[in-house]
Chains A and B, each alone.
Chain A
Amino acid sequence: MKRTTYLSLTLLALASVFTSCTNQGKKSNGALTSNAAERVYVPPGQYDEFYGFLSGGFSGQLGVYGIPSGRLLKVVPVFSQDPEKAYGYNEETKPMLNTTHGFIPWDDTHHPDVSQTNGVLDGRWIFMNANNTPRVARIDLTSFETAEIMEIPNSAGNHNSAFVTENTEYVVAGTRFSVPIPQRDMPIKDYKGNFKASLSFLSVDQDNGHMDLSFQIRLPGFNYDLAHPGRDKSHGWIFITTYNTEEAYTLQEVNSSQNDKDFIAAVNWKKAEEYIKAGKFTTEATEYAHNIYNEETHTATSTIKKEVRVLEASELPGLVYFLPTPKSPHGCDVDPTGEYIVGNGKLSADLTVHSFTKMLDAIENKKFDGEAYGIPILNFEDVLGGTVKQPGLGPLHTEFDDKGNAYTTFFISSEVVKWKVGTWEIIDRKPTYYSPGHLSIPGGNSQKPWGKYLLAMNKITKDRYLPTGPELTQSAQLYDITGDKMVLLSDFPTIGEPHYASMVPAELIQPKSRKIYNLEENEHAHATTKDSDVRIERNGKEVHVYMTMIRSHLNPDNIEGIKVGDKVYFHLTNLEQDFDVPHGFAVMGAENAELLVMPGQTETLVWYPKKVGVWPFYCSDFCSALHQEMSGYIRVSPEDSNIELSWGLGD
Chain B
Amino acid sequence: MKTGIKSVAILFSLLLMACGGKEKKKEGFSVERAKTTTEKPAEAPADAGTPASERVDLTNKGVGPIQSVTLSPEIDQALAAKGKETYDQMCMACHKPDKKFIGPAPKGILERRTPEWVMNMILNPEVMIKEDPLAKDLLMEFNGAPMANQHLTEEQARAVLEYFRTL
By a beta-carbon cutoff of 8 Å, the part of chain A in contact with chain B is: 3, 6-7, 10-11, 13-14, 17-18, 20-21, 516, 519-520, 529-532, 548, 550-553, 555, 575-578, 581, 624-626, 650
**8 Å CB contact of A577 from B8, B94, B151:** B151
User: Which 6 residue pairs of A and B lie closest in terms of their CB atoms, listed nearest first?
Assistant: A550-B93, A531-B92, A577-B150, A531-B93, A577-B151, A17-B15
Besides A577-B148, A626-B145, 16 new A-B residue pairs in contact (Cβ under 8 A), listed by A number: A3-B1, A3-B5, A10-B5, A13-B12, A14-B11, A17-B15, A520-B89, A531-B92, A532-B88, A532-B92, A550-B94, A550-B148, A553-B93, A575-B93, A577-B151, A578-B150
Q: Does B89 lie within 8 Å of A626, measured CB to CB?
A: no
B73 CB within 8 Å of chain A? no
Across the interface, name the chain B residue whose C-beta is closest to A623. B148
**8 Å CB contact of B146 from A11, A577, A624:** A624
Contacts of A575 in B (CB 8 A): 89-90, 93
Q: Does A530 lie within 8 Å of B89, measured CB to CB?
A: yes
Contacts of A650 in B (CB 8 A): 101
Q: Does A576 lie within 8 Å of B148, measured CB to CB?
A: yes
6 residue pairs bridging A and B, Cβ less than 8 Å apart: A21-B19, A530-B92, A550-B93, A575-B90, A577-B148, A625-B145
Across the interface, name the chain B residue whose C-beta is closest to A573. B93
How distant is the Cα of A553 from the Cα of B142 in the complex, in angstroms? 14
**8 Å CB contact of B145 from A516, A531, A551:** A551
B144 CB within 8 Å of chain A? yes
How distant is the Cα of A21 from the Cα of B16 in the complex, in angstroms? 9
Q: In the assembled complex, how far is the CB of residue A546 from the closest CB belonging to chain B, in whole angstroms?
A: 13
**8 Å CB contact of A578 from B4, B5, B18, B151:** B151
Contacts of B93 in A (CB 8 A): 531, 548, 550, 553, 555, 575
Across the interface, name the chain B residue whose C-beta is closest to A519. B89
B79 CB within 8 Å of chain A? no
Contacts of B92 in A (CB 8 A): 530-532
How distant is the Cα of A21 from the Cα of B12 in the complex, in angstroms? 12
B60 CB within 8 Å of chain A? no
Q: Does A7 lie within 8 Å of B5, measured CB to CB?
A: yes
Contacts of A551 in B (CB 8 A): 145-146, 148
The interface bits of chain B over 123-155 (1 if a CB of A lies within 8 angstroms of the residue's CB, else 0) are 000000000000000000001111011110000
Q: In the assembled complex, how far is the CB of residue A467 from the closest CB belonging to chain B, in whole angstroms?
A: 16
The interface bits of chain B over 71-106 (1 if a CB of A lies within 8 angstroms of the residue's CB, else 0) are 000000000000000001110111000000110000
Contacts of B58 in A (CB 8 A): none
Contacts of A14 in B (CB 8 A): 8, 11-12, 15
Q: In the assembled complex, how far is the CB of residue B141 from the closest CB belonging to chain A, in whole angstroms?
A: 14
How distant is the Cα of A627 from the Cα of B70 in the complex, in angstroms? 39
B69 CB within 8 Å of chain A? no
Q: Does B102 lie within 8 Å of A577, measured CB to CB?
A: no
Q: Does B145 lie within 8 Å of A17, measured CB to CB?
A: no
Contacts of B143 in A (CB 8 A): 626
Q: In the assembled complex, how far is the CB of residue B6 from the closest CB belonging to chain A, in whole angstroms?
A: 10
* A626-B148 in contact given A6-B5, A519-B89 (Cβ < 8 Å): no
By a beta-carbon cutoff of 8 Å, the part of chain B in contact with chain A is: 1, 4-5, 8-9, 11-12, 15-16, 18-19, 88-90, 92-94, 101-102, 143-146, 148-151
Q: In the assembled complex, how far is the CB of residue B12 from the closest CB belonging to chain A, in whole angstroms?
A: 5
**8 Å CB contact of A17 from B16, B90, B144, B151:** B16
Across the interface, name the chain A residue whose C-beta is closest to B13. A17
Q: Does A581 lie within 8 Å of B148, measured CB to CB?
A: yes
Contacts of B18 in A (CB 8 A): 21
Q: Does A531 lie within 8 Å of B8, measured CB to CB?
A: no
Contacts of A625 in B (CB 8 A): 144-146
Across the interface, name the chain A residue whose C-beta is closest to B95. A531
Q: Does A530 lie within 8 Å of B145, measured CB to CB?
A: no
Q: Does A578 lie within 8 Å of B145, measured CB to CB?
A: no
How distant is the Cα of A313 from the Cα of B102 in the complex, in angstroms? 69
How distant is the Cα of A532 from the Cα of B92 in the complex, in angstroms? 8
Q: Does B15 lie within 8 Å of A18, measured CB to CB?
A: yes
Q: Does B101 lie within 8 Å of A624, measured CB to CB?
A: no
Contacts of A626 in B (CB 8 A): 143-145
Contacts of A552 in B (CB 8 A): 145
Across the interface, name the chain A residue whose C-beta is closest to B148. A551
How distant is the Cα of A626 from the Cα of B146 in the complex, in angstroms? 9
**8 Å CB contact of B12 from A10, A548, A555, A624:** A10
Contacts of B4 in A (CB 8 A): 7
Across the interface, name the chain B residue whose C-beta is closest to A625. B144
Q: In the assembled complex, how far is the CB of residue A308 from the closest CB belonging to chain B, in whole angstroms?
A: 45
Q: In the assembled complex, how far is the CB of residue B111 from the closest CB belonging to chain A, in whole angstroms?
A: 25
Q: In the assembled complex, how far is the CB of residue A651 from the closest CB belonging to chain B, in whole angstroms?
A: 11
Contacts of A519 in B (CB 8 A): 89-90
How distant is the Cα of A14 from the Cα of B150 in the complex, in angstroms? 57
Q: Does A624 lie within 8 Å of B149, measured CB to CB?
A: no
Q: In the assembled complex, how far is the CB of residue A170 from the closest CB belonging to chain B, in whole angstroms?
A: 39
Q: Does B148 lie within 8 Å of A11, measured CB to CB?
A: no
Q: Does A578 lie within 8 Å of B146, measured CB to CB?
A: no
Contacts of B19 in A (CB 8 A): 17, 20-21
How distant is the Cα of A27 from the Cα of B89 in the complex, in angstroms? 62
Across the interface, name the chain A residue whose C-beta is closest to B88. A530
Across the interface, name the chain B residue whose C-beta is closest to A13. B12
How distant is the Cα of A453 from the Cα of B3 in the complex, in angstroms? 41
Q: In the assembled complex, how far is the CB of residue B76 from the closest CB belonging to chain A, in whole angstroms?
A: 22
Contacts of A520 in B (CB 8 A): 89
Contacts of B88 in A (CB 8 A): 530-532
Across the interface, name the chain A residue whose C-beta is closest to B14. A17
How distant is the Cα of A520 from the Cα of B89 in the complex, in angstroms? 9
Contacts of B101 in A (CB 8 A): 650
How distant is the Cα of A578 from the Cα of B143 in the complex, in angstroms? 21
Q: Does A553 lie within 8 Å of B148, measured CB to CB?
A: no
Q: In the assembled complex, how far is the CB of residue B124 from the closest CB belonging to chain A, in whole angstroms?
A: 12
Q: In the assembled complex, how far is the CB of residue A370 from the closest CB belonging to chain B, in whole angstroms?
A: 65
Q: In the assembled complex, how far is the CB of residue A624 from the closest CB belonging to chain B, in whole angstroms?
A: 7
Across the interface, name the chain B residue whose C-beta is closest to A6. B5
Q: Does B148 lie within 8 Å of A578, measured CB to CB?
A: yes
Q: In the assembled complex, how far is the CB of residue B122 from the closest CB belonging to chain A, in whole angstroms?
A: 12
Q: Does B148 lie within 8 Å of A10, measured CB to CB?
A: no
How distant is the Cα of A3 from the Cα of B19 in the complex, in angstroms? 27
Across the interface, name the chain B residue whose C-beta is closest to A3. B1
How distant is the Cα of A7 from the Cα of B1 in the complex, in angstroms? 10
Contacts of B5 in A (CB 8 A): 3, 6-7, 10
Q: In the assembled complex, how far is the CB of residue B138 from the closest CB belonging to chain A, in whole angstroms?
A: 15
Contacts of A531 in B (CB 8 A): 88, 92-93
How distant is the Cα of A601 from the Cα of B1 in the complex, in angstroms? 67
Q: In the assembled complex, how far is the CB of residue B105 from the closest CB belonging to chain A, in whole angstroms?
A: 13
Contacts of A553 in B (CB 8 A): 93, 102
Contacts of A577 in B (CB 8 A): 90, 148-151
How distant is the Cα of A581 from the Cα of B148 in the complex, in angstroms? 10
How distant is the Cα of A45 from the Cα of B18 in the complex, in angstroms? 23
Q: Does A21 lie within 8 Å of B1, measured CB to CB?
A: no
How distant is the Cα of A538 from the Cα of B150 in the complex, in angstroms? 32
How distant is the Cα of A137 from the Cα of B149 in the complex, in angstroms? 35
Q: In the assembled complex, how far is the CB of residue B35 from the closest CB belonging to chain A, in whole angstroms?
A: 20
Across the interface, name the chain B residue whose C-beta is closest to A18. B15
**8 Å CB contact of B149 from A21, A532, A578:** A578
Contacts of B89 in A (CB 8 A): 519-520, 529-530, 575
